[in-house]
Chains A and B, each alone.
Chain A
Amino acid sequence: MSTISTQLRNFKEPTKEQLTQLFFSLPPTLVDQAEQDGLEKMEINAIVSLSDDAEEDSYGGKLHLIPPYLSFLSVDHKSVRFTIPLCTIRRVEKLNARAGVYALSLALWHGMKVVVQLTSLRPTADLFCSLLRDALKAELQKGHMKLVKGFSKTCYSETLVAASSGMEENPSTQKLQQEAEQNSEGNETSYHGGLGLKYKFPGDPRRLREASKIKLWTKYLEKHGRNLTLLRYPQCTRLTQVGLPNRLRGEMWEVLSGSIYLRFVHPGEYLRILEENQGRTSTSTEDIEKDLHRSLPEYSAYQSEEGIGALRRVLQAYSFKNPELGYCQAMNILAAALLIYMSEEQAFWLLEVLCDRLLPGYYSPSMHGTLLDQRVFESLVQRCLPMIHDHFQEVDVQLSVASLPWFLSLFINSMPMIFACRIMDCFFCMGPKVLFQVGLAILKINGEKLLEIQDDGGFIHLMRDYFASLNESAYPDSQDPRSRAINRFQELLLISFREFSTITDDTIHAERRKYRSEIIYSIESFSKRAAVRNLKSLERFTKDQGGLIYDALYRAMCIAPPPAPVLPPPSLILGSNDDKPETRIGLKTFRVFLSEVATWARDEKIIVNGFQERVDREVAEHEFIDRLFFFWDTACRGALSFQDLVSGLDGVMFNDLMENIEWFFNLHDKNKDGYLTKDEVLTLSESFLFIFRYEVGDAYLGAISRFMTNAFEYGDTLLPRPEGEAEDSPPPEIGHNQPYLNLATFRMVVLADEILESFFETDLSASFRLEPVQLSDLPAGNVGFLGDLLSNLATDDNKKLFNRFTDQIGKTIGKHQVVHRPAIGRYKTLEEPKARESLLTPSMRRSPSKSTLSESSTITSVPSSVSISTDVSGQSTTSAPAGHETSPMTMVQTANAALMERTPFAIDDAKDEEEEDEDFFGDEDDGVMDEVDAFLEAHDNGLTQVERDVAKDLLNAKPVS
């Protein structure tokens, strides 16, 4: 049976602020915590310079204070960026510089000095400084500064730099450097590393030019910080694009993806999760077991218990941390690749960042992220490579059959490990757009052959052959040996980043926005079809009706989500795959469900206020509804499944008169002995009252009162008399919960009344309507000028605001009117139908017993004419909270503002840039830098010459004493 998830409906597009935080890889929980602690965020224009010996330009951009982090992004959005935990800032000094220049010098843990010139107006800069001071103080108080030292020992970069730092002598930073060296003392081999350290890294280290890469990185990390304090200058991106050195790769992945911040602030959490869940099994752990031996099985570590054990622990720990996602095939491949380069703890946190932020929704139970990005990729292909797209359409080839695994396993499953790792390097450094860029480049490179394929199979074969040839020369026939030396993988990256540089983060976000609802709709209708198909029985409903019931259930679950199924305690689980959790709803959700399908299960108020007519709908609450819930819960589980609802509705919607009477009787016969007790007769009458509560006129009330009189008369008459007593002797005393009225008698009483008869004949069944209730189902005829405005209001919130506003005006001008909509609505006027002649023969007629009378007085306690309450006095019948009184004028302004604020439609502005750039390989020396230069892109530091001079000056400025 199926589980129904409403997760997707609740998706909210990230705000601009959230996007910024995502961009800088900030852990949301920490940022939220800081916010709760009263620390404020702020962004400010700034020019950032780095201590002279790093030989870096100064860059203009935006500095973001998002406690507990300080982040920077240069104007061109790519050249320079950093995210620094505030606790790694050791000293902040205000610099004494030219007049009108406001600058700070930040000394970081690793000895670099960053000079930031705040280019905003002085008060703004002052504010920024004071907020920074507050945030730093908070970090100091929490003792976070002290954690840096211990943590940095877990980073390989420290060992690397420590080993080479003896050679460096630079007076300006010497003191700080010494400090840093002291800090990293006693740092033997406690750094984290992957299985590769023991089982060898894939690829030939010489051909990978490991040694020279390490040298270049060591130099970079010395000057620009490392691990927590890494400053990302253009060189960092370029060095990453030519492939990270194996030993440093794990740490750089952590740093570039930002997962290092998670590991930093959650020390010991990984081991704790493993310990707390030891021995626990679940569907996820079972699925993990099945896949352990097919995760990069060709790598030697995964032929040993050491490697398999590590893989098992990381995947299990993640599934325990995030049980909702659990485990999805393909995560095994990611984790296996990560573990070659990083420790279990590092891989665990990187997996979290992958599932949560970098590949959002890819591995969730609905895999909506995967489907969405496949759709986005398809649309990018259509835009950038229209010929290929058209050909695929023509021969009916689906892009996803090949591209799905590219995205889902970051190409690890598609190309040789050494190449997949290089794509991952770029992916962690530059973000998810890389997957799209590489995907497009693959298609572009194979363009001609792709235009010849005829079916999915041909497509797959072509791609397989291509990936197998990545090692070969891209230009085997070239005269130039340098060109011949370029292999097809290098060609792939070059084309990815040069020709598809127009694909940016914004492009991806905009495309995702565009297709999200389409994808959600298709996932939802897919699971709907499956749920209807998998019902054990549709009963007498058609498939479409089954679908409508599903829709009502779904809407109810959106409004009142059922509690998530609780994981049983570890000891109790025997982990059986057969017992898949089926979605079941509790009473609360059921009430909403019923309000969707039964007219009497909702309170509908028709509100007229002179400007608009609308219906306000609320879920009714009554014992009768709860009774129905337990009546339909035939398996006594305290919760209803989709099947229960279908069967339950079937039990009432197709009934004729007699069946309905019986159904209603059984519903109230709690112990199912075929008799109602006196108490149950009263409850049943209350059910009538509830169902008829909004009917116009007194007809129904009369019918109920006659019903009660008759029921008790018959009941008493038909009670078995003790042996020997006459038929007309007074009825025996009988308890309130003794069997009293049987079905035959009940039927007779009901049929004695025209109203009740027609209720059971047609109205009851007809009060169930599967078609969705229209939200505003009143014709827009007489709504006036504000009515047009209403149709322009986009969100529900806006509508509520508008409704309150018009009600207010309506009351002031005396036109506010509220009418309850009846559930049956048979009588439009107040005319009352006649009761039938009583069927009782005079001899059977008996005066009702005293007890009956006193109890039947409950009727009077029910308000008798709730049906109409017209409000002309200017007082509200809707219960608006007192605090919400707002003057009409501001309301109009708000409504207008809400209108203006609607997000404009995203305009596709990515162009198909067709640069033919043939001669990108320069003629420098062989070696890494050669390839680095191939990636060299013009970068714009966004500064004029004058600004540059000021920035240079500042590097030699003295602090203000």
Chain B
Amino acid sequence: MADSASGATDKSVQVKLVLLGEAAVGKSSIVLRFVSNEFQANKEPTIGAAFLTQKCRLEDRVLRYEIWDTAGQERFHSLAPMYYRNAQAAVVVYDVTKAASLEKAKSWVKELQRQANPNIVIALAGNKVDLVQPSASTSGTTSSESEDEADDATATPEETAGGEQAESLRQVPRDEAEAYAKEAGLLFFETSAKTGEGIVEIFTEIAKKIPIEHILASTRGAGRPGAGGRPGAPDGGVTLDENAAKGKDACNC
């Protein structure tokens, strides 16, 4: 952690983001994919919430995501407000192969809309789409082969299923979830932490929707938005521009 502890000292805009959702839908995996572009069995025991940071570039602006990845067990629910308070963004995750996980996601959304920061940007993410896609398209993304070994497949026994079988694993139709998201005013994505599909997009779209000027105004010492921004990504951060696809070499910061 070379990075100095206080975010207010550099020019970046700090965005507090919380991940919520039923246990084992892939919250930690999504964060890991975003922060270090890896996919592996989760080794970090999470007590309450894990805390990670990732710097990103959006157009001429540097964002510093402070990510709180909450513990999934139901009884930790009452601790969640501690982590979503003051959050500017939330990613509520469900598992497309588990209908009940969408119900839980909806209840998180309701809770956030009533209890959290009123301006919070919420994204709904249907994770594990790789499980419901024909295997041909799964290999479309880069660098997932080597990591397949690391995945100990605890939750993915059907990995080898062909296209039709795979589609039958789906319990949450895309249309249904998307319609719900639209109605509730959420950003919507289908993602796979395993292949990387849709992951960076979540954070890009959130970044676009966040009222950055607002945050800047309220953060002291960071009053010069975008001043002196270099065109390249700042040391090892993720570039959230349209041409993000090439810059997938994000690493932990």
Contacts and interface: CB of A to CB of B under 8 A. Distances in A.
Contact of A401 (B74, B76, B83, B152): B83
A460 B53 CA distance: 11
Contact of A458 (B7, B77, B85, B100): B7
B51 interface: yes
B249 interface: no
B48 A457 contact: no
B110 A533 contact: yes
A115 to B, nearest CB: 48
Nearest to A326: B75
A720 interface: no
Interface string B203-246: 00000000000000000000000000000000000000000000
A398 B75 contact: no
A293 B107 contact: no
A408 B48 CA distance: 9
A367 B107 contact: no
Nearest to A367: B75
A297 B5 contact: no
Contacts of B85: 398
A413 to B, nearest CB: 5
B150 interface: no
Interface in A328-354: 328-330, 332-333
Contacts of B5: 453, 457-458, 461-462, 465
Interface in A508-561: 523, 526-527, 529-530, 533-534
Contact of A291 (B8, B45, B98, B114): B45
A807 to B, nearest CB: 45
A333 to B, nearest CB: 6
Contacts of B46: 329
Contact of A400 (B66, B82, B110, B152): B82
Contact of A367 (B41, B45, B53, B79): B79
A297 B111 contact: no
Contacts of A120: none
Contact of A294 (B42, B100, B115): B42
Nearest to B23: A290
Nearest to B75: A365
Interface string B76-113: 11110111011000000000001010000001001100
A398 B110 contact: no
Given A405-B47, A533-B107, A329 B66 contact: no
B78 A461 contact: no
Contacts of A529: 114-115
Contact of A290 (B3, B24, B78): B24
B164 to A, nearest CB: 25
A832 to B, nearest CB: 52
B19 interface: no
B71 interface: yes
B1 interface: yes
A869 interface: no
A390 interface: no
A461 B82 contact: no
Contacts of B53: 457
B114 A533 contact: yes
A714 B47 CA distance: 71
A371 B75 CA distance: 12
| Highest count of chain A CB atoms <10 Å: which of B8, B76, B154 | B76
Contacts of A364: 75
B217 to A, nearest CB: 16
Given A287-B73, A328-B73, A328-B75, A454 B6 contact: yes
A529 B116 CA distance: 13
Given A287-B73, A454-B8, A366 B78 contact: yes
B183 interface: no
A410 B141 CA distance: 42
Interface in A567-584: 577-578, 580
Interface string A341-385: 000000000000000000000001111001100000000000000
B78 to A, nearest CB: 6
Interface string A448-486: 000011111110111011000000000000000000000
A656 to B, nearest CB: 32
Nearest to B67: A457
Contacts of B111: 530, 533
B78 A523 contact: yes
Given A409-B47, A460-B51, A534-B107, A455 B71 contact: no
B44 interface: yes
A295 interface: yes
Contacts of B152: 293
Nearest to B47: A405
A453 B100 contact: no
Contact of B45 (A294, A401, A465): A294
Contacts of A606: none
A452 B6 contact: yes
A367 B23 CA distance: 17
Interface string A485-509: 0000000000000000000000000
Contacts of B48: 400-401, 404-405, 408
Given A293-B41, A455-B7, A330 B47 contact: yes
A824 B66 CA distance: 60
A396 interface: yes
Interface in A711-725: none
A537 to B, nearest CB: 13
B73 A329 contact: yes
B1 A465 contact: yes
Nearest to B99: A578
B100 A578 contact: yes
A333 B45 contact: yes
Nearest to B3: A461
A367 B86 CA distance: 23
Nearest to B64: A457
B14 interface: yes
A59 B38 CA distance: 62
Nearest to B66: A457
A370 B100 CA distance: 28
A731 B201 CA distance: 79
Interface string B54-66: 0000000000001
Interface string B4-21: 011110000010100000
A565 to B, nearest CB: 15
B50 to A, nearest CB: 10
Nearest to B73: A329
A729 to B, nearest CB: 62
Residue from B47, B53, B83 having most chain A Cβ neighbours under 10 A: B47
Contacts of A457: 5, 7, 14, 16, 51, 53, 66
Given A294-B44, A457-B66, A404 B6 contact: no
B86 A396 contact: yes
A329 B71 contact: yes
B79 A404 contact: yes
A860 B48 CA distance: 66
Contacts of A296: 45
B15 to A, nearest CB: 11
Contacts of A455: 6-7, 14, 16, 66
19 contacts: A293-B43, A293-B152, A294-B42, A294-B44, A328-B73, A328-B75, A329-B45, A332-B45, A333-B47, A396-B86, A400-B82, A455-B14, A456-B16, A457-B7, A457-B53, A464-B1, A526-B78, A526-B81, A534-B110
Interface of B: 1, 3, 5-8, 14, 16, 23-24, 41-49, 51, 53, 66, 71, 73-79, 81-83, 85-86, 98, 100, 107, 110-111, 114-115, 152, 154
Given A293-B154, A294-B44, 20 more contacts: A287-B73, A291-B45, A296-B45, A329-B46, A329-B47, A330-B47, A333-B47, A367-B75, A367-B78, A367-B79, A401-B82, A455-B14, A457-B53, A458-B6, A461-B1, A465-B1, A523-B78, A526-B81, A533-B107, A577-B100
Closest 7 CB pairs between A and B? A405-B47, A578-B100, A461-B5, A458-B5, A457-B66, A404-B48, A294-B45
